Amino acid sequence: MVNNNLTSQLTETLSVDNGTDETPIKWCSVSLSEVLEKGNRLEASVYDVESKQAYARIKDGIYPPVYLLGINSPVKKAHYGGRLKRNYVEKNSKNAIGFIGSSEMLDINPQPLKFMVDDERVSNLHVKRGTVLMSRSGTIGNMSFVNETLEKFLISEHAMRLECDDYPGYVYAFLKSKTGQALIQANIYGSVIQQIEPEHLTGIPIPNAPNEIKSEIDNLVSRSYSLRDESNVLIEKATQLMIKELCLPAIENFDLKLFKRNVPVDTFNVKLSGLTYRLDASYHVPIVDAITQHLKENCRELTTVADTRISKRIVLPGRFKRIYVEENVGRVFIGGKQLWELDPCNKKYLSLSKHGDRIKEQLELHENMTLITCSGTIGKVSLVGKHWENWAANQHIIRIVPADNSVAGYLNTFLASEYGYHLITRHTYGAVIDEIDDLHVSKIPIPILKNQDIQRLINVLTLQANEKRYEAYKLEQMALKIMDNEVIYAKRPELV
């Protein structure tokens, strides 16, 4: 009778070992002196195993360390812009200047969506060329370097400015290395919105390498960011050539056939024959018809992305459950948020054994593909560089495989322009999350220019810009490799 007792049965069931492994727990001992040295901080993250190893690696390295900020330190001033009420203005307003955040500063060629009046009130949001930038709120530790492109914008207070007298590229490379990142992460505070302050840099050690090594790394980083500037100039030149050849006015100067003017909302008519089974007003916005009609009048032929002279294939991957693995055993995997970065931060790695076929058939990227974000944020356009060859991207990005390299650059330039953006986003659907699909992309109008020499030149300039970005990537990777091999992990001569 006892064996049939419910309590007895439950006890026996609960005591069964199902062979489930417990989640590994990281642990380490912490001395009182360490707690005092860390400013009496008791958060476990401050004493993380990886950060302790990174700290010991620098302390015991071949080159005696100095602290990042303080006496005899490489960073002479660490600060960020003050908080202020942001009064945004229109892009074409007098003295308007682009305002970007700590995520946009990572883009090769940032495209600001917000603008402020450039006056004394925002003076501390400017940045000087050669300044090292580090995101200090939300996502901590993303690094950028102020070049000619970034110098033109205001940058939010969420980006910390590190100003150095000498070798700022060396500081940039150290903080971007895995060791530098581990040391940054150990200084984060905040339970809801994580942050880091300039005073926390006083506890981060950096190897005091010989000036020859510092100079070499600094030059590589500076050249890398100069090449990004040069690529942006080429892209702008290609875009302006296209605009001039098509006689395109500024977006705000198009003559929109509005039903009523001087009213709070745009009001317009749509013929029944023009509905094409779409009843959402955003599909029928007048700017799209105005751009399309203008293109017809000023190009040799208006075709679509699906034209075999333009593309071979348009790929929208299916949704799938992702299996991530460690860096050295998987394929690099990026998302739409990272499309405009040269070397995307926060990369993940997909399992080749679990996703090998899907990667090869749908996810893989190849040089000169055009990528378009198709979910959430619609219409971000990027051209795949040589350094992204065989990487994988998620299902929120549509791939356009160009017909050949004679049209790849031109196709990308048109779609990446503000005119292409309106033609892409008019297809947006969805009540909660915006979406477009491969069928919509296939219908996007593409103008064939009357002057084929100009079209070829636009194509060449865009591909040259893409090549410069590849060279910029290689230079930065070389700087990071020297930082690792000759500074952080360098062995003493007697131990070799």
Angstrom distance (rounded) from CA 162 to CA 74: 9
Burial label for 318, CB within 10 Å (0-12, 13-18, 19+), is exposed
Q: Which two tokens stand for residue 21?
A: 């492994």
Q: Are residues 181 and 268 in the same domain?
A: no
| pLDDT tens digits for range 417-464 | 999 999 999 999 988 899 999 999 999 999 999 999 999 999 999 999
C-alpha dist (Å) from residue 476 to 169, 211, 220, 261: 10, 19, 6, 52
Same domain? 205 vs 254: no
Is residue 315 situated within a structural domain?
yes
Q: Are residues 164 and 272 in the same domain?
A: no
Angle (CA) 80-44-350 rounded to 5° is: 80
How many C-beta neighbours within 10 Å does residue 326 have? 8
Q: What's the average model confidence in pLDDT over 392-398?
A: 96
421 and 290 within one domain: yes
Which residues does 371 contact at the CB level (< 8 Å), separation at least 6?
A: 339, 365, 381, 382, 383, 384, 393, 397, 398, 399, 400
**Mean pLDDT of the 482-490 span:** 96
Q: Is residue 9 part of a domain?
A: no
pLDDT digits (tens, 9 = 90+) for 93-136: 899 999 999 999 999 999 999 999 999 999 999 999 999 999 99
Q: Is residue 222 part of a domain?
A: no
Predicted confidence at residue 495, as pLDDT, reads 56
Say what the pLDDT of residue 26 is: 64
Q: What is the pLDDT of residues 313-356, one digit of tens each?
A: 999 999 999 999 998 889 999 999 999 999 998 899 999 999 99
The domain boundary residue, chosen from 433, 448, 463: 448
Whether 255 and 346 map to the same domain: the answer is yes
pLDDT at 260: 67
E-strand stretches of 24-64? none
Closest CA to 463 of 421, 402, 393: 402
Whether 278 and 175 share a structural domain = no
Residues 90 and 147 in one domain: yes
Structure tokens at 257: 């056939």
Domain co-membership, 117 together with 202: yes
Residues 252 and 198 in one domain: no
Classify each residue of 267-302 as buried b or exposed e, where b means 16 or more C-beta atoms within 10 Å of its C-beta: eeebeeeeeeeeeeeebbebbbbbbbebbeeebeee
335 and 410, same domain (yes or no)? yes
How many structural domains does the chain have? 2
Q: What is the pLDDT of residue 9?
A: 45
Domain boundary among 158, 187, 209: 209
Q: Domain of residue 125: give its range.
A: 42-209
The residue among 209, 231, 258 that closes a domain is: 209
Q: Does residue 22 fall inside a structural domain? A: no
Residue 237 lies in a domain: no
Q: Is residue 389 part of a domain?
A: yes
d(CA 97, CA 118): 6
Could you read off the pLDDT of 135-190 as tens digits, one per residue? 998 889 999 999 999 999 999 999 999 999 999 999 999 999 999 999 998 887 76
The answer as to whether 405 is a domain residue is yes
CB 251 within 8 A of CB 418: yes
Together in a domain, 89 and 176: yes
Token pair listed for 8: 């007895």
Are 142 and 134 contacting, i.e. CB atoms less than 8 angstroms apart? yes
**Quick check: 17 pLDDT over 70?**
no
HSE-up of 492 (CA within 13 Å, CB side)? 8
Q: What is the pLDDT of residues 179-235, one digit of tens each?
A: 999 999 888 776 556 788 999 899 899 999 999 999 999 999 999 999 999 999 999
Task: For residues 334 and 382, state if they share a domain.
Answer: yes
Q: What is the CATH number of the domain that holds 299?
A: 3.90.220.20
